[in-house]
Amino acid sequence: MLKERNIPVELVNYNDINLDSYFNSLKNKFIISANNFYIFKSKCIENNIIINYHNALISKHRGVNAHIWAIWDDDEYSGIVWHRVDNGIDTGEILIQKYIKIDNMSAKELLLAQHRAAIESFKELIDVEFEVKQLITNDKNGKLHKKKELPNNGILDLSWEQKKINRFLRSFDVGVFCDIEYPKVEVNGVFLEIESYEINSDVITLNFTNGERLNLKGLK
């Protein structure tokens, strides 16, 4: 999109450079961070303008796998933001924010909806040359999620009510978009990995990586 408007762009390949050395050497650059897990250091932040795409409403979730946590926490809405980067994690002032109603989305469906919203929002920012008249204050109160953290430590509890099981399964339904472990459930003293699932009105079917399946009936 930037190249279409004759704005010079340099793409950074993570595998070819030492990121700390590269970014700390930059001055007076405009850096766009999207789907990026690198944490910019203070020197780079002080010497450049950096904006970051985050796939959540920052008031709810900061950090990694925000789309997963939005579903697990039973949020009615998720969304996206483009925000300035400061020395915190997803704590900078917000340039633009969009809301997405979750309904019964899976994590992969929500992530795709977020990416579409992020692209459209980026177009809006280009149109105003990234000069937003009124920045949105970041309250910095959203939960900070780390990479190794997963809902209920990745364990499905069969004593939960149907709605909670539904949320758990949808939150782990990431497709090819995220590298997390399969969720597990204990059956007859053995933990089995849930590869896929089917949700119907009166039964939830769990398909395990070992080829077996479990039908959950009579859930509340």
Q: Kindly state whether residues 123 and 167 are assigned to the same domain.
A: no
pLDDT at residue 218 greater than cutoff 90: no
Q: Which range marks the domain in which residue 26 is found?
A: 3-145
CA 34, CA 131: separation in Å to the nearest integer? Answer: 19
pLDDT tier for residue 201 given thresholds of 50, 70 and 90 = confident
Q: How many domains does the chain have?
A: 2
| Pair of tokens at residue 91 | 């704590």
Angle at 22 between CA 132 and CA 6, to 5 degrees: 45
Q: Kindly state whether residues 109 and 14 are assigned to the same domain.
A: yes
Domain end position, chosen among 145, 173, 199: 145
Q: What is the mean pLDDT of residues 26-41?
A: 94
pLDDT for 200 equals: 87
Q: What is the mean pLDDT of residues 41-65?
A: 96
Contact 154, 129 (CB under 8 A): no
Within 88-161, residue ranges assigned H as helices are 107-127
Q: Kindly state whether residues 61 and 38 are assigned to the same domain.
A: yes
pLDDT for 114 equals: 98
Q: Kindly state whether residues 47 and 110 are assigned to the same domain.
A: yes
Condensed to tens digits (0 to 9), the pLDDT of residues 54-92 reads 999 999 999 999 999 999 999 999 999 999 999 999 999
Q: Kindly state whether residues 34 and 104 are assigned to the same domain.
A: yes
Domain end position, chosen among 111, 145, 179: 145
pTM: 0.93
Contact 26, 46 (CB under 8 A): no
CB burial string 50-76: b at 16+ within 10 A, e below: bbbbbbbbbbbbbbbbbbbbbbbeebe
Determine the 3-state secondary structure of 190 from DSSP: strand
Condensed to tens digits (0 to 9), the pLDDT of residues 102-128 reads 999 999 999 999 999 999 999 999 999
Q: Kindly state whether residues 90 and 167 are assigned to the same domain.
A: no
Determine the 3-state secondary structure of 74 from DSSP: coil
Order of strands, sheet of 213-217, starting from the edge strand that comes earlier in the sequence: 155-156, 184-187, 190-199, 203-208, 213-217
CA 176, CA 208: separation in Å to the nearest integer? Answer: 18
